[in-house]
Amino acid sequence: MRARPRARVDWPSRRCRVRRLVVGMGTENKLGANGMIFELKRYVAHDGKAEALQQRFADKTIPVFRRVGIDLVQCWTAPAEPGVFYYLVRFPDEAASKQAWAAFAADPDWKAAKEASEKDGPLLASQSTVRLEPTSFSPQHHG
């Protein structure tokens, strides 16, 4: 019996698989459309403070993000980088990003949470941000 030739997988079929994967990850409708900007944040905790940093993020930071309009897409840790925490947020445009981050920095609940969690010293050793914009050939632009 001869093997059947492999059918060429066209773009819509791949897109459907990507959508199913995204839905399965709990990020449905989180991948932006044209004009969206994304910020990939990388936080490095001080030695021994990674768990406290992540706990503060989960318990205190996320509720403030929701209130001030910071759309959290996903959070990650990297097994190869102990003490490092990544997260991705998105905004409709630059103005929305600036407005939301200003509101976050001024939020009294955030200020109180930060102060309380850092009474024995800062949790965060360093942080960086990479601004990302979808390309015209990103899967979310083909449908």
List, for residues 65-98, the tens digit of each pLDDT value: 999 999 999 999 999 999 999 999 999 999 999 9
* Terminal CA-CA length for the chain: 39
pLDDT lower than 70: segments of the chain: 1-34, 140-143
User: How many domains are contained in the chain?
Assistant: 1
Single out the residue of 9, 36, 31 nearest to residue 143, CA to CA.
Answer: 31
Residue 4 placed within a domain: no
The whole-number pLDDT of residue 20 equals 33
Residue 17 placed within a domain: no
Residue 112 placed within a domain: yes
The whole-number pLDDT of residue 34 equals 54
Residue 70 placed within a domain: yes
The whole-number pLDDT of residue 139 equals 81
Residue 96 placed within a domain: yes
Q: Structural domain of residue 79, as residue ranges? A: 36-135
Residue 27 placed within a domain: no
Single out the residue of 74, 94, 93 nearest to residue 85, CA to CA.
Answer: 74
pTM score over 0.85: no
Residue 6 placed within a domain: no
Determine the Cα angle at 34 with ends 32 and 38, to 5°.
Answer: 45
Residue 42 placed within a domain: yes
Per the DSSP assignment, residues forming a β-bridge with 40 are 88, 130
- Please report, for the domain that includes residue 61, its CATH number: 3.30.70.100
The whole-number pLDDT of residue 65 equals 98
The whole-number pLDDT of residue 64 equals 98
Residue written as token pair 């990850």: 25
Per the DSSP assignment, residues forming a β-bridge with 128 are 42
User: What does residue 94 show for φ and ψ, rounded to 5 degrees?
Assistant: -60, -40
